């Protein structure tokens, strides 16, 4: 029997913006992979499309505007009858998972976690309290929601090996419910590295990131207040350009040309901006998952200085596309100056980035195994779900609790429009 899913429904928390965020890029990587394997895809979201949302009218792909707490979704999903449903982040599973389970019980339910929200928020909480993150910080209400969603699904895609370890060793999740799937970069063209500008053709430092994302706001504030002044002492003419979508006023106010700190905002081409810089600075103090900016730096031949949080899950054989510095702002500043001025170190870092890309993020490393694993889980779905009885209990309770709350909200909304 052919168990390869033919009809896929993706429920996005938001409409992907691959030019604005790593999450958007990740989603479009998955979309292209599924399309390449002949799947018919409907991408739906209850969010409103934005000015910079990706163009999703591709062959084999259609879109659907979804409504929260509305039985119209039940009619739609029943009529479409997908073989597989992919939830974009655990919140989407909370909103629609019980409806999918009720209307399409045979559909494979897959969660793309993007990153472990409970890890990111726990680290953020520790930074705000000016203390070290500990394992105890993980056990939050967010973790209870996120782990519940993972258990309710048949399979969860985990982007970081470190997060695989947390889920299996700290939260004791059955590895059969998880699949490690990092960024999927198509390296088959082989000419990527030939387009890199040389060391002598580049100048300046840079940072890039979506400023809806709290780790990016914190990193730029930390960079401006504590790291950059020390760099300027050692390099008085140094300039850093800060790029990114949705820059808030607090970041815009940091624009100070006299001190070489330039807030550039959204950029038409992230590739051009990254390639023009000599070094990317990403002093991330908290976060989770994989950092899209650091992957792009490898793709475009730009060495980086980051923290252990930034490099987490991205190093290979202890190698990095630059330097990892953690202890204090002075150490980060020293690493930045050293990497910027040492041609041999810079060139070696660039080569290590190319090695990491090929060894860890080439789509060809994962594609066949991932598609085959989906077919394998589908072919044994009854046993797979029986082995995850706790997930069935959580699904049952979530169905009862969410169903009646959602129905109440739906009726309330109807009365408001009458």
* 299 & 152 share domain: no
Would 174 be classed as within a structural domain? yes
Please report the beta strands in 239-385, taking only residues with DSSP state E, as ranges in sequence order: 240-243, 261-265, 279-282, 304-306, 322-324
* 14 & 97 share domain: yes
DSSP state of 180: E
d(CA 119, CA 138): 6
C-beta of residue 46 within 8 angstroms of C-beta of residue 67: yes
* 178 & 251 share domain: no
Number of folded domains that form the chain: 2
49-53: average pLDDT: 89
Of 315, 330, 362, which marks where a domain is finished? 362
Please give the pLDDT value at position 192.
Answer: 74
- The token pair at 411 is 């009726």
Please give the pLDDT value at position 309.
Answer: 97
* 222 & 177 share domain: no
Please give the pLDDT value at position 1.
Answer: 47
Which tens digits make up the pLDDT trace of 360-404?
A: 999 999 999 999 999 999 999 999 999 999 998 888 776 666 666
Range of the domain at 289: 192-362
* pLDDT band, residue 266 (cuts 50/70/90): very high
Of 362, 382, 398, which marks where a domain is finished? 362
Which tens digits make up the pLDDT trace of 122-171?
A: 999 999 999 999 999 999 999 999 999 999 999 999 999 999 999 999 99
* 270 & 354 share domain: yes
Of 346, 362, 378, which marks where a domain is finished? 362
407-411: average pLDDT: 61
Nearest to 161 by CA among 172, 153, 150, 169: 169
DSSP state of 387: T
Q: How many CB atoms lie within 10 A of CB 140?
A: 16
**Is pLDDT of 412 > 90?**
no
Contacts of 40 (CB under 8 A, 6+ apart): 6, 7, 8, 60
Going 378 to 382 to 388 to 390, the CA torsion angle's sign is positive
């Amino acid at each position: 029997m052919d168990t390869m899913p033919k009809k896929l429904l993706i429920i996005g928390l938001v409409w992907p913006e691959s030019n604005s965020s790593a999450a958007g890029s990740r989603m479009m990587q998955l979309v292209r992979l599924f399309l390449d394997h002949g799947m018919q895809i409907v991408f739906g979201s209850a969010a409103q499309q934005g000015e910079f949302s990706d163009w999703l009218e591709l062959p084999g792909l259609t879109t659907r505007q979804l409504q929260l707490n509305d039985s119209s979704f039940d009619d739609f999903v029943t009529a479409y009858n997908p073989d597989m449903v992919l939830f974009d982040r655990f919140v989407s599973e909370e909103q629609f998972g019980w409806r999918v389970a009720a209307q399409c019980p045979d559909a494979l339910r897959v969660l793309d976690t993007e990153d472990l929200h409970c890890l990111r928020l726990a680290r953020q909480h520790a930074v705000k309290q000016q203390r070290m993150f500990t394992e105890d910080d993980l056990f939050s209400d967010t973790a209870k929601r996120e782990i519940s969603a993972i258990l309710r699904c048949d399979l969860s895609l985990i982007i970081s090996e470190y997060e695989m370890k947390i889920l299996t060793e700290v939260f004791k999740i059955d590895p059969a419910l998880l699949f490690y799937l990092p960024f999927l970069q198509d390296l088959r063209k082989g000419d990527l590295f030939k387009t890199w500008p040389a060391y002598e053709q580049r100048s300046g430092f840079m940072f890039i990131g979506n400023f809806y994302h709290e780790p990016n706001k914190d990193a730029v504030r930390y960079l401006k207040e504590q790291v950059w002044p020390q760099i300027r002492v050692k390099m008085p003419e140094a300039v850093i350009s800060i790029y990114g979508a949705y820059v808030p006023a607090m970041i815009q106010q940091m624009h100070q040309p006299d001190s070489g700190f330039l807030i550039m905002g959204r950029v038409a081409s992230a590739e051009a901006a990254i390639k023009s810089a000599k070094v990317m600075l990403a002093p991330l103090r908290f976060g989770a998952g994989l950092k899209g900016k650091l992957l792009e730096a490898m793709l475009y031949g730009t060495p980086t200085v980051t923290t252990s949080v930034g490099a987490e899950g991205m190093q290979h054989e202890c190698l990095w596309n630059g330097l990892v510095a953690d202890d204090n702002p002075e150490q980060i500043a020293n690493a930045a100056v050293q990497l910027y001025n040492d041609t041999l170190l810079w060139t070696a870092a660039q080569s290590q980035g190319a090695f990491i890309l090929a060894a860890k993020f080439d789509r060809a490393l994962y594609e066949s195994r991932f598609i085959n694993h989906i077919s394998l889980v589908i072919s044994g779905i009854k046993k797979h779900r029986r082995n995850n009885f706790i997930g069935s209990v959580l699904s049952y309770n979530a169905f009862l609790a969410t169903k009646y709350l959602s129905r109440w909200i739906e009726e309330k909304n109807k009365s408001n429009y009458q």
